[in-house]
Amino acid sequence: YREEFKETLSSIFQFARPSVVRNLVRHVKISRLDNYLVNLFASTDPTKLVNLLQSEHFAQLSECKQALLTCGRHHAIALMHVREGEERKALEIWKGMGEGSVREAGRDGVSETVEYLKRCHDWSQIAEFSKWVIQLRPKAALHIFLCTDRKESFNKALVADFLQEQHMQVYIDFLEHEVFEANSEICDLRTRLARSYLDNLKVEDSCINDHDSRRRLVQLLRDGRELDEDSLLQHIQNLPLLEEQLLLYGRVALKLAAAAPPPPESFTWHRKSLEVLVWSLRDAKAAEAYCTNKNMWMLNPSPQEEIPASYSNKLVLLLFNVLLSPTTSAQAAGAVPQVEEAKKIWRRYRSILQEEDVLRALPERLTLMDMLDVVGDMMRRSWHEKCHLQIERSLWKLRHLQVKNELVDAKSDFVLVDETSACAHTGAKLGAQAFLVLPDRSLVLYHVAEKLKKEAAGPSAPSLQWLHT
């Protein structure tokens, strides 16, 4: 009847204990009662034992340790160490459980260590005793650093540095919690997380297939809160992440555009964005929307936020230039200037753009024939709108632009003649040179035949819709 006696005795003690605690003045008597209960529960009911030791009690480890060791109740010993201010000894016991040197049925020391460290305010203890948990059970270890039970939280950068050294996935999980769930405004944490996604994409054999990292990275870049864009731009180089590059360029452009007036370097980033849209994504329509809708800078076409007219006009001119200036990588892939798209831009925005500005936006490296195509379209349409005098002045200014190695004869690049004179000189003076004949008062833009031969691989000028030779 030994076990039955123990259970009966423990029940009596448990029933009597609250009254004893309320009425006894002498601490020694309640201490003896708790010692009896610990010794009884050690051999009869481990659950009641733990409940007792986790509540307010007066048991003494020196009086109970042997019975607890005999029954293998190492977790109970650790709890009593914590009660007596010997936290390190408790942590060592739990660590021993995790490493296998201390054995107790149903316990591995992980949950016990996590529960204690979640409330611990000693960073040195957390750093020392969380390491083995991180290696053994990283997901469980994360709760040590996310817990809000502490009255004062640790410096987030300190925690991030520590986790980065220990386990990258725990490090990323910590940053994701702080950024996406706790809505942290700390720029350093947000930038660290974005860099981590980029690092993950770099080590993937096919980085564009890591959809989760890319989705979260885009979500982070779309968020208007602060990031260190310069750091991220260094990490994103040579990665085929076009959408992410656009978002970074847009973020930088938005920051610069907020100044009054916007600095010239803001257009450097706009150019990068437009080059990606035009030459990498081949989406001229999106590039045009980029010039008029500010939200498109963050790849968000709606709702539309109009850009001030003066700024928008500069973006349109920049797009005009980009359409005629294939990037190095695009040229390597065989791309040629998108003359037709550039002409469409001119047609749609000619009412608000000055011809001189459009001519100045012509790329220096644009071939003569492409230049003739674009300028001829401008002349024809403006002539019908009776703007020929403005066009004449504009084309004369074109001669003074820094277009190197294209127009060889400064004195005869542009010749103004009347219709009769143009007809009379067609065969005698101009020969096979290219020129444009317009009604009434004609403007002739021509270049020496040798240049045309080189570009067209023929003895005469190419036949263009608007060009008569």
- 204-227 tens-digit pLDDT: 555 555 678 889 999 999 988 899
Distance CA(185)–CA(319), nearest Å, equals 35
Q: Tell me how far apart the alpha carbons of residues 445 and 398 are, in angstroms, rounded to a whole number.
A: 11
Split at pLDDT 50, 70, 90, the class of 382 is low
In a domain, residue 339? The reply is no
Q: What is the pTM of this model?
A: 0.74
Pick from 319, 232, 305, 227: nearest CA to 273: 319
Beta bridge partners of 445: 414
Q: Per the structure, how many domains does the chain have?
A: 1
Instruction: Tell me what pLDDT residue 201 has.
Output: 85
Whether residue 418 is contained in a domain is answered as: yes
Cα(102)–Cα(109) distance, rounded to whole angstroms? 9
Instruction: With cut-offs at 50, 70 and 90, classify the pLDDT of residue 15.
Output: low
Of residues 404 and 103, more confidence is placed in 103
Segment 31-71, tens digit of pLDDT: 888 888 888 888 888 998 999 899 888 889 999 999 999 99
203/196 Cα distance (integer angstroms)? 11
Range of the domain at 448: 414-468
Q: Tell whether 371 is covered by a domain.
A: no
Query: What pLDDT score does 425 carry?
Result: 37
Query: What is the DSSP code string of 91-155?
Result: HHHHHHHHHTSS-BTTB-SHHHHHHHHHH---HHHHHHHSHHHHHH-HHHHHHHHH---SSSPPP
- Is residue 239, in this structure, part of any structural domain at all? no
Residue 458 lies in a domain: yes
Cβ–Cβ < 8 Å for 17, 52: no
User: What are phi and psi for residue 446, nearest 5 degrees?
Assistant: -140, 170
pLDDT at position 446, please?
36
Q: Bridge-partner residues for 306, per DSSP?
A: 293
Residue 313 counted as domain residue = no
